[in-house]
Structure 1
């Protein structure tokens, strides 16, 4: 085995240049001196804004006071930073000196080792056969190198620890002006100082906002846009910045950014966050209002980028909800939701379909769901009422499915009803009208809303009706004279269908009683004569509930009929068609007759003959007798309770007569003789057609 001297271990210098740090220390120390002088000046007569009077003097003095306080804080932070930087420069300088000493020591040790090596007797044998002398030289040198390695590592670790401590001190020093020690501190400091010193900062922020609008479109790559947005995120919440940014973009620029966020490619979270923050922070102005109220999702655009824009809107809202910036205002989100639902209403499909950016938040794949979710979170009654004041929006909202089972939509419905004035009433009335006019006795293909979705939010609609109970009371006035005006019938149908939900029925009934100012056992009802609302309205509501349960059964029947027709159609185009064709090929033969009989019988056997099992009506039942009994219980202390009961009974009957009785379709009866009859008549008709055909052919030949 051969013995060899170990190689030199590397002894790198610690990172950093003490001379460069000394330059920084001198610059920072100079800044500290300037701040100290300024602080002294602000302590003098200038602190009271001499020559100023009244409110102007007070405002100027307050501004000077904020500047003085800021100068003190910054001056103290700068002095601390100076001390840490100077100490680190000394530590780094000393560490580099020690590394140079280690290198010199290493040179000396290697020189000694080589000297001893050369003095060994019979050196070849010593080296080749691990002689004791050679081994001793190697072990001594290895031990010295190991000692140097440990001391060198300790030096580097010490410098690194001191550098980390210095960095933390510098970050703490930055905090007095809003800095965090990360890239983009210049914009964060600007935003912080602008909030502290608005008279100075507002113009600065506005200029930065306008510059960003230009920079985003000058960026040649998505990464460039993302970096520009990241640096501006801290300032985006400042109204001067946001206002100038949106004014510079205009509606066209905002739409372009939304489209970029929603198009396939890379997900740009900083751009989404920054844009959402700006949309929420911008101060009202003519140009900003135009941007916030612009139509970005076009209802009648079939192949444009409206879907991508909708996804971009969802990205902005998701970024605001998850990032803490808040994002756009509820009024803006309500406008966006209206645009999306109007598009779904016209196009008949969900918005946002298409390629999503890579890394896109999965929850943002349903743009409408995100809009409604944010409105539900904010509990903004004005924005919710503005959204639901449109029947087309109700139709689209109740026709689609919701990933959360309609929970957010239900909350928005409840919030909308809490809006005072006509806005809240219109939202509730529109919803009832849409439900009442969309769910009718007819083909489910023609229904404009989903029964499942209506059922999911029925309890919330009931709470909404209870909040705007005068809408229900106005419609239930049909119990007085039995006449329906305007859209009263549709509203009543809507109330009846929503009241299938027990909690909705209870909420509406309780609200009616509260609105009438009546408690059980009260004696405030008017005597005989014209029907009184406290008697009529509860009775009419009971009649509407009866109508709702019968309507529900009728709709069940029409759904069963459609399922039967679908099965029959599928059968006719699969089993029926080849069987019929085969029978015609061998018509007027036992085989053809057998095929026809077998196909007809099998259709009956497998339930594909267009018949269906009529659903059982398991709904609640109410009658005029029930209305009368309820009145007796409620007004049992009155001597004329029977007169009151007759009023209730008549109100129930008038309401029921005005609405009518929904009827379910009746299934044709399956008849096992039909295949036989069809087979026989098919043969007769087929023979007659062939005879008639030959006759026509003879006439044509004669005419020629």
Structure 2
């Protein structure tokens, strides 16, 4: 191996300009002297006012003495501040000199090491001179020295800041709030550590305002004042840690109530502080606020968790369009999981529908849609893929409707596909088929077909880019098993979509080409098994789509029939109305029947598998194995129209006639049964 020279230890100067600080110290000292002289002049002769007598003169003298005392106190503060700043400037200058000398020594050491390494390496490229080890030792020592120098400067900066705070107390106390802001801003530029203290104070004050719950108007005003500083790390950390998990949750709940929109100052401040970097010392406390459990899925007694979730959506909407605003992606993913869990607990009802805003409140946006938008537009695809790792999450996302018709969901699937791995893709395929029975009956199937149609193109491209998702179950020893059933059914449903099928066909064709060139020692050709097995999957998908259409028609017909029966029961005593209802029910297909649709989908029997594989041996077997696992979707057939029942409804006395017909039918059935039994026995 080749000897590697270590990177030089950073030895840049500490923050702060010693010349600027020294200049300020001189100005403060001169200002203090001038103020001191002014104070002496004001209080000369005991503050007596020439030619004044009486109580007015006494009052004027008292005021002059008080003014003089304030001036002298300010002068002393300025002198103290100037002296302390001068000391800090000296320390900063000395620190810069010491670091400069360290840099000089560093350059000499690296040059010496390079010279020694020039010809003292063995054939393996290993340093045998000891130059690198000596260089690393000296660099480690320099690292410790530099850290100690910077720590000394930082501690002195904090001590100087404390002196300045005390020195300026008299000016701040005598003036209106904000009079000292210009001075503080200037000090923040020339004195390291001061800005962080000032910004942290502002952040804590804002958090205290929110916790005091002084009303939306006061909070919105405070948010507008803080808005220019929300990206500052000290402000962000102070706001979030000042609120704490409970206070932050309460702010989200208020935002979710609808009185403040995503365009409000409070929403923009929360988006800003959540997206700002924070000092390392505050990272743990901030993480507890950002990523704690804010939405309780089991809260069945209040709307608090739902309002908090809506507040999450408001904050995310406020940060749209700005990559620096809004929570980190890990937090957005965690919020998404919490919202999904809550909606699952609500029986797949959308939170935005579960909470009904009052007439004076702005309709809230869909928080889960905001989560998907944020993750789908992120540079890093990992959080999107992480959200889609679980089948229950996919099932919830596929079951619900979306205000954007599933556009954000489709974009999320596409973004997640950029992340290596196939866990999310497999989960999506399985979720498309969870709840389907062997005959295609969707009694336990919850997928919204409109939502599924929105995401199938993106999911198909993701599957096609991962040939192992297609080939693994089809190449399993002994054919696919029960564990593969749901995934393959989802693949069949996906492939039946005209917008998704071509991508899957392309993926299978490419996988088969790769398998043809691979060595195989088994009893079957893997390329043949994949092509034939996928043909069975496509056949299942085509028949499934037709069956789902017919089951949907059946469900609608049964629903209409129930309404008809209720109308007939309500009009039982009015023969004309009952007859009219019965007639309309037959004419308008309200009697439990429906016009069955034709199965116009592509038919792909085993002969198609033989054709696609060029008549290769094993194609029929592979097709049969996969078809046997998938099951056979069977569309329901509409019952025939009950014309006899309609006639009996129309004929007067039809009820009595119906009884007679039913008795005759029962007797004929018994006679026919006895005849068949006698024939079988004879």
Among 483, 500, 504, the residue aligned to 1:508: 504
Aligned pairs for 1:438-457 within 5 A: 438-440=435-437, 446-457=444-455
Aligned to 2:229: 235
Q: 2-side partners of 1:496 and 1:548: how far apart?
A: 4
SS at match of 1:220: coil
- 1:260 equivalent to 2:233? Answer no
- 1:664 equivalent to 2:635? Answer yes
TM-score, normalization: structure 1? Answer: 0.64
After superposition, give the CA deviation of every residue in 1:30-73 in whole Å (9 maximum; x if it has no partner).
Answer: x9xx99xx99x979992763445635669979999xxxxxxxxx
- 1:544 equivalent to 2:537? Answer yes
Q: 1-side partners of 2:319 and 2:190: how far apart?
A: 25
Aligned to 1:433: 430
Aligned pairs for 1:534-683 within 5 A: 534-574=527-567, 576-583=568-575, 599-632=581-614, 642=615, 645-676=616-647, 682-683=655-656
Aligned to 2:170: none
Aligned to 1:366: 366
SS at match of 1:617: coil
Q: 2-side partners of 1:312 and 1:249: how far apart?
A: 16
Q: 1:329 to 1:45 in 2, by over 3 A?
A: closer
Q: 1:215 to 1:252 in 2, by over 3 A?
A: same
Among 277, 284, 290, the residue aligned to 1:286: 284
SS at match of 1:321: coil
Q: 1:241 to 1:646 in 2, by over 3 A?
A: same
Q: Which runs of 5+ in 1 are unaligned?
A: 1-26, 65-182, 584-593, 633-641, 690-704
Alpha carbons 1:439, 1:448 under 8 Å: kept? no
After superposition, give the CA deviation of every residue in 1:599-627 in whole Å (9 maximum; x if it has no partner).
Answer: 43432122111111111112122122222
Number of residue pairs matched by the alignment: 512
Alpha carbons 2:440, 2:634 under 8 Å: kept? no
After superposition, give the CA deviation of every residue in 1:176-212 in whole Å (9 maximum; x if it has no partner).
Answer: xxxxxxx999999989997997655444433433332
Aligned pairs for 1:196-345 within 5 A: 199-218=193-212, 220-267=214-261, 269-283=264-278, 285-304=283-302, 305-322=304-321, 325-345=324-344
Q: 1-side partners of 2:492 and 2:277: how far apart?
A: 45
Aligned pairs for 1:4-403 within 5 A: 46=93, 49-51=96-98, 54=102, 199-218=193-212, 220-267=214-261, 269-283=264-278, 285-304=283-302, 305-322=304-321, 325-348=324-347, 349-353=349-353, 354=355, 365-403=365-403
Q: 1:309 to 1:48 in 2, by over 3 A?
A: closer
Aligned to 1:518: 514
CA RMSD of the aligned region, Å? 4.1
Alpha carbons 2:460, 2:494 under 8 Å: kept? yes
- 1:416 equivalent to 2:416? Answer yes
After superposition, give the CA deviation of every residue in 1:209-246 in whole Å (9 maximum; x if it has no partner).
Answer: 33322222225121211122222223322233322322
Q: Which runs of 5+ in 2 are unaligned?
A: 1-73, 103-142, 154-176, 663-682
Aligned to 1:407: 407
Q: CA deviation at 1:667?
A: 0.9
TM-score, normalization: structure 2? Answer: 0.66
Q: 1:490 to 1:342 in 2, by over 3 A?
A: same
Q: 2-side partners of 1:341 and 1:45: how far apart?
A: 54
Q: CA deviation at 1:327?
A: 1.1
Alpha carbons 1:631, 1:648 under 8 Å: kept? yes
Q: Which has the larger radius of gyration?
A: 1
Q: CA deviation at 1:273?
A: 1.1
Q: 2-side partners of 1:188 and 1:649: how far apart?
A: 85
Q: 2-side partners of 1:194 and 1:485: how far apart?
A: 68
Alpha carbons 1:526, 1:532 under 8 Å: kept? no
Q: 2-side partners of 1:195 and 1:471: how far apart?
A: 58
Q: 1:563 to 1:61 in 2, by over 3 A?
A: closer
Q: Name whichever of 548-557 and 398-407 sits farther off.
A: 398-407
Q: 2-side partners of 1:190 and 1:397: how far apart?
A: 52
Q: 1-side partners of 2:471 and 2:186: how far apart?
A: 55
Bigger helix share: 1
